[in-house]
Amino acid sequence: EPEVTQTPSHQVTQMGQEVILRCVPISNHLYFYWYRQILGQKVEFLVSFYNNEISEKSEIFDDQFSVERPDGSNFTLKIRSTKLEDSAMYFCASMREWGSDTQYFGPGTRLTVL
């Protein structure tokens, strides 16, 4: 069964450094998402992406964040200058079509900012 994959599984970085989290969505899916889950808290929506542009973004997704689908298969989340509070599990999700469909989640990348 096709699945969403994410790399790396764990990323440790120093505060102020840039990180790029990578996701490979399911191949025939058209809608892509990033969520995050700070330890002990709920999963929160960050951004959705369709047709090579951002569809929706939350208040969390400020100028430090960006997303890209550089090559038609990868979907990346970049954090330009990480802060301690960016430490979280980041989940990628993809969905085939709009409407009565389901978002499929990857296993997540745990980001630790020191």
Q: Which is nearer to another protein, 48 or 87 (CB)?
A: 48
Q: Is residue 52 a contact partner of residue 71, using CB atoms and an 8 Å limit?
A: no
Contact residues for another protein, defined by CB under 8 A = 4, 6, 31, 33, 35, 41-45, 48, 55-56, 58, 91, 93, 95, 98-108
Q: Which is nearer to another protein, 14 or 52 (CB)?
A: 52
Q: Which is nearer to another protein, 81 or 112 (CB)?
A: 112
Give which of 6, 11, 7, 4 is closest to 86, Cα–Cα. 11
Q: Closest distance between another protein and the C-beta of residue 16, in Å?
A: 28
Q: Closest distance between another protein and the C-beta of residue 74, in Å?
A: 17
Q: Closest distance between another protein and the C-beta of residue 10, in Å?
A: 10
Q: Closest distance between another protein and the C-beta of residue 81, in Å?
A: 25
Q: Which is nearer to another protein, 3 or 18 (CB)?
A: 3
Provide the 8-state DSSP code for 1. Answer: -
SS (H, E, C) 63-99: CCEEEECCCCCCEEEEECCCCHHHCEEEEEEEECCCC
113 half-sphere exposure, CB direction, 13 A CA radius: 20
